Amino acid sequence: MAAEPWLAIVNPVAGKGAGAKLAGTLASTFAAVGLRVDVARSPGPGECARLAAAAIDDGYKVILSVGGDGTANEIANGMLGSTAALALYPIGTGNDFARNLGYPRRRKRVAAFLAQATAREIDTGLANGRAFVNHASIGIGGVVAERARGIGHYLGPALGYATSSLAAIASFRPVPMRVTIDGERRDGRYLIVVASNGVRFGGGMRAAPKAQLDDGWFDVSLAGDLGRRAAVAALVRLYRGTHVDGVRIHGVQGREIDIELDHALPMELDGEVARVRSLSIRMTQRSLRVLA
């Protein structure tokens, strides 16, 4: 990996603007550990996928995502179907995908970590045709992500998500969802449905403590019609990964999840939010190479 240059795609607004500052120092940071890195700045939202696809056409074998989970998601969408490997330089709000891959939490250790990393193949998901690497959810998770995107820059990822979750619990009520998982109907009123590829989401919440990135399955959590007090208690247990009780919160595995709604709700993919009336999630096994 070290013999050929990598391309770093930098989200300049990530990390409270840290991306813009890092763009000028990345080459020397990685040169110190024996890696050659070229640098490209993303000109705006949605451009990372285009830059990644163009870089692969230009012969780059490793694409370095400099940003958060949303940046990694964009870049992965430009890499699927290629033999190039995705590497991470996590500077975002949550950085859950990097944690799931075992990256060091201290930024100054990332370059040395990547100098010794090896490539592995992981699963990805498709949600309404868009790829995701870590998780997809619908319901209160999207509401929380919308709130956390603003206040997380001031409170930090863990406190930002926790505060946003409490605020969302106070205002969001479970809604009717027609849920089908691998052909089995599970209709009901749900607070959230999450399809997890990795263990953590939401700035450290352990939504799927037994999930594996390369086992070919989503770990699906379905939280039913919880009252506010029960929802707060479940939030506390979510950080420990003990929230599934088999009564009001269920956990199953699946490869194909279809959800129909009476009205549009927030869908969240790797921290990015959109509103949808229906959600189709599909597993694509070992479809992305990553350095870990």
Q: What is the pLDDT of residues 176-216, one digit of tens each?
A: 999 999 999 999 999 999 999 999 987 788 999 999 999 99
> Is residue 288 over pLDDT 90?
yes
> Is residue 151 over pLDDT 70?
no
Provide mean pLDDT across the span 218-235: 90
Burial 116-133 (b: 16+ CB within 10 A, else e): ebebeebbbbbbeebbbb
Percent of the chain with pLDDT over 90: 74
pLDDT band at 147 (very low <50, low <70, confident <90, very high): confident
Q: Is 184 exposed, middle or buried (0-12, 13-18, 19+ CB in 10 A)?
A: exposed
Quick one: tokens of 163?
Answer: 């505060």
Q: Return the pLDDT at 141.
A: 84
Residues 22-49 pLDDT 10s? 999 999 999 999 999 999 999 988 899 9
Percent of the chain with pLDDT over 70: 95
pLDDT band at 89 (very low <50, low <70, confident <90, very high): very high
d(CA 14, CA 17): 5
d(CA 210, CA 208): 6
d(CA 135, CA 138): 10
Percent of the chain that is helix, strand, coil (3-state, to 5): 30, 35, 35
User: Contact at 8 Å (CB) between 115 and 92?
Assistant: no
Residue 15, C-beta contacts closer than 8 angstroms, at least 6 positions apart:
22, 67, 68, 91, 92
User: Contact at 8 Å (CB) between 214 and 121?
Assistant: yes
Mutual orientation of helices 47-57 and 69-77 as an angle, nearest 10°? 50
Q: Return the pLDDT at 289.
A: 98
Q: How many residues does the chain have?
A: 292
> Is residue 3 over pLDDT 90?
no
- Sign of torsion, CA 191 195 199 204? negative
Domains, the chain, ordered by start: 6-117 (3.40.50.10330), 131-286 (2.60.200.40)
pLDDT band at 1 (very low <50, low <70, confident <90, very high): very low
User: Contact at 8 Å (CB) between 134 and 96?
Assistant: yes
